[in-house]
Amino acid sequence: MIHTITHTIAGKELILETGKMAKQANGSVFARYEGSAVLATACASQDSVEGLDYVPLTVDYNEKYYAAGKIPGGFIKRETRPKDREILVSRLIDRPMRPLFDKGFGREIQIVPTTISADQVNPPDILAIIAASAAVHISDIPFGGPVAGVRVCAVNDELVVNPTYEEIEKSLLEIVVAGTKDGITMVEGGAHEASEELMVKALEKAREVIGELCSLQEKLRDLAGREKLPFAADTHSLENAGAIRSEAYPQLEKACFEPSKESRHDSVRAVKTALAQKYAAQLEDEFQKKLFGALFEDMQYEILRSSILDRGRRVDGRGTEEIRPISCEIGLLERTHGSALFTRGETQALAVTTLGTVMDEQVFDDIEGDKRENFLLHYNFPPFSVGEVGRLGTGRREIGHGNLARRSLAPMIPSKDEFPYTIRVVSEILESNGSSSMASVCGGTLSMLHAGVPIKKPVAGIAMGLISDGSRYVVLSDILGEEDHLGDMDFKVAGTENGITGFQMDIKISGVSAEILQKALAQAKQGRLHILGIMNETIKEPAGTISEFAPKIVTLRIDVDKIGALIGPGGKNVKALCEQYSVTINTENDGTVTIYGRNTKDAEEAKTAVLGIVSDPETGRIYQGTVKRIMEFGAFVEILPGKEGLVHISRLSRQRIAQVSDILHEGQEIPVKLLEIDKMGRLNLSYIDAIDPDGASPEDDSGGRYHDRPRPPRDNRRRF
């Protein structure tokens, strides 16, 4: 049976439908919003596994090119591996939903939202969040939702809900917010130095709409919901749990407060290993071993949280608002264009900036339309950064953290007119113990300044945490990995001294109040300003010159009607210039010409040649010409591509010569001066060697007689 419900958001109708498509899935919802549509399905495996200590959830958002009436570009004409955008949207769906699944269910869960219609006006990602939650909520999969998502933008001093692509492009602030009817659980977005007050207003606006959308999904469940499946039977309990806890707890209270991550890890492991040996016979059972490990994590959870709430003491001894020691270095790598090492406590990022040309821009081919990007940031998180062994590669985490760092820096990147380079920043995480993405923001700023990129303002980032027991809460600045793992919130905020540029928040409890958000944002601002102050002591302004190893770029603008002359038939002219000066020349439709050379000399000489081609000949100007033809009465010399003039035999020398070939030969390059452009447009030239130092050329008295002035003979001239 088909069930349909509708709801109006920002004057547009949202339609949720089930019972028509993909009926064999545990749950299926077809969602439409204007011309965009997403089909979301949710499936669970048949068999359950007892004792799982994680939620085996996979979210695979995907976009079909046919949704926008397109055929994939390149040689492979079908959708292949997920694009970065699809991975980022998958994370937007996964992060607010994952905490609402219970590990006790014990079955693999797969959510597949598919964009099958895209009007290229309304972004489908928000629709995918709503459809995915609705598909799970009406299914037989146990779920603590529903969850809803909404995008809010600040456009022309007004908060706009679910804006179009055009409105997003114009916005000062863009946030995607997800949550339950009880409160916000996830925030992600960027801004152009937005204030903390505007951020809170946008979150409150989003909270209202999220409540409406959750109620809408409840209505759909009332119409089409299935009875929830039972959890996996849990028949196991840890033997001797009381004795193990009594013995381990006081030892852990000491071990958890060692000064460094490594020493804490070693001390906790020593306590755990000693007790494991004592109860070795019991722990031969696999379930007992899992429960033993879970007990230790629970004890660490209690110790960390009670210490912060009761005594304001963190595991590394800091106060709740204290930032770890920070050091900044630049110029570590000689051959790179810009490099910086940013270290905050036990988190360290090596950021490297590379400058490229327009040919290095990232080209995107997706359902939003083709576009190019000249600022790239890639984040790498090798296993050695946490002292582990593992495979190198780029996973969803790397793409997500890199996108957050890039979004935080992007508003401060100069325009292509100001700085016509493609900029690539790579952040190599060398150590990690809390907020490596924010370290990437700080390191990226330093490395770009070192590379001479004229960013508008330095950007720094900080991660905030939260410990709450319902009646009390403490907001933590610059959280550690343990505080992220065992805490209630991970709120990353990046920005300049004037405002916020990027943020991401994940909340593990049902929601946070406006009071907590305001305190977290105010505390984050204090921390951000502190970090910026330390960064500015190392480098505050961009380097005066770029690296000698970077490509040299020269930009000029020509008349649009001269583009054809520059390019030439079949690209003949521009190809010849590229070959002659060892450069690459790119021409835009608006008349912008960009020249990329290996060194400044090549680029500047090519610029002079381009100007020569697109400029009209000027009387009195001296040109470096090429002899094209030798005639009895003179020589035709090309002074600009396709523009020739005549040097009459009488203007080749101050002495009488028998024939032109005594002075010139074809292909010879000579300096000539344009004496006049006659009524028929013909160019009359004079060989520069035949001109007086004061610029006067020889005159013909009468009938071809010359002024005979004595001058030293030249090797290439005949003497009379």
pLDDT in tens, 474-496: 999 999 988 998 888 999 999 99
Query: Rounded mean pLDDT of 8-24?
Result: 94
- In this prediction, residue 705 has a pLDDT band, given cuts at 50, 70 and 90, of very low
Give yes or no for residue 345 having a pLDDT over 70.
yes
Q: What does DSSP assign to residue 412?
A: G
Query: Rounded mean pLDDT of 342-371?
Result: 89
Question: Which one is predicted more confidently, 610 or 442?
Answer: 442
pLDDT in tens, 51-85: 787 899 999 999 999 999 999 887 888 988 899 99
Amino acid 643: pLDDT: 81
Give yes or no for residue 694 having a pLDDT over 90.
no
Contacts of 471 (CB under 8 A, 6+ apart): none
pLDDT in tens, 376-408: 999 999 999 988 999 898 999 999 999 999 999
Q: Does the reported pTM lie above 0.85?
A: no
Give yes or no for residue 342 having a pLDDT over 60.
yes
Give yes or no for residue 698 having a pLDDT over 90.
no
- Tokens 């009594």 correspond to what residue? 246
Residues 229, 492: Cα–Cα separation, whole Å: 37
Question: Which one is predicted more confidently, 470 or 97?
Answer: 97
- In this prediction, residue 432 has a pLDDT band, given cuts at 50, 70 and 90, of very high
Amino acid 641: pLDDT: 67
287-291, 408-412, 715-719 — which one is most confidently predicted on average?
A: 408-412
- In this prediction, residue 718 has a pLDDT band, given cuts at 50, 70 and 90, of very low
Amino acid 604: pLDDT: 86
pLDDT in tens, 349-358: 999 999 998 8
How deeply is 515 buried, as exposed, middle or buried, from its count of CB atoms within 10 A (0-12, 13-18, 19+)? Answer: exposed
Q: Which two tokens stand for residue 360?
A: 């290095």
Question: Which one is predicted more confidently, 424 or 253?
Answer: 424
* Structural domains in the chain, sorted by start: 3-224 (3.30.230.70), 241-311 (1.10.10), 326-538 (3.30.230.70), 552-614 (3.30.1370.10), 619-720 (2.40.50.140)
Amino acid 716: pLDDT: 45
Amino acid 690: pLDDT: 55
Contacts of 311 (CB under 8 A, 6+ apart): none
- In this prediction, residue 364 has a pLDDT band, given cuts at 50, 70 and 90, of confident
Give yes or no for residue 450 having a pLDDT over 80.
yes
Amino acid 680: pLDDT: 86
Give yes or no for residue 234 having a pLDDT over 80.
no
Give yes or no for residue 712 having a pLDDT over 70.
no
How deeply is 689 buried, as exposed, middle or buried, from its count of CB atoms within 10 A (0-12, 13-18, 19+)? Answer: middle
Please give, one letter per residue, the 3-state secondary structure of 225-274: CCCCCCCCCCCCCCCCHHHHHHHHHHHHHHHCCCCCHHHHHHHHHHHHHH
Give yes or no for residue 535 having a pLDDT over 80.
yes
Give yes or no for residue 703 having a pLDDT over 80.
no
Residue among 467, 477, 472 at smallest CA distance from 520: 477
H/E stretch holding 602 reads helix 600-614
Residues 43, 41: Cα–Cα separation, whole Å: 7
Query: Rounded mean pLDDT of 626-637?
Result: 92
Residues 309, 303: Cα–Cα separation, whole Å: 10
Amino acid 627: pLDDT: 93
Amino acid 458: pLDDT: 97
pLDDT in tens, 653-684: 888 888 998 889 999 989 999 999 988 889 99
Give yes or no for residue 584 having a pLDDT over 60.
yes
Residues 358, 604: Cα–Cα separation, whole Å: 18
pLDDT in tens, 638-649: 887 668 899 999
Query: Rounded mean pLDDT of 412-422?
Result: 92
Amino acid 714: pLDDT: 45
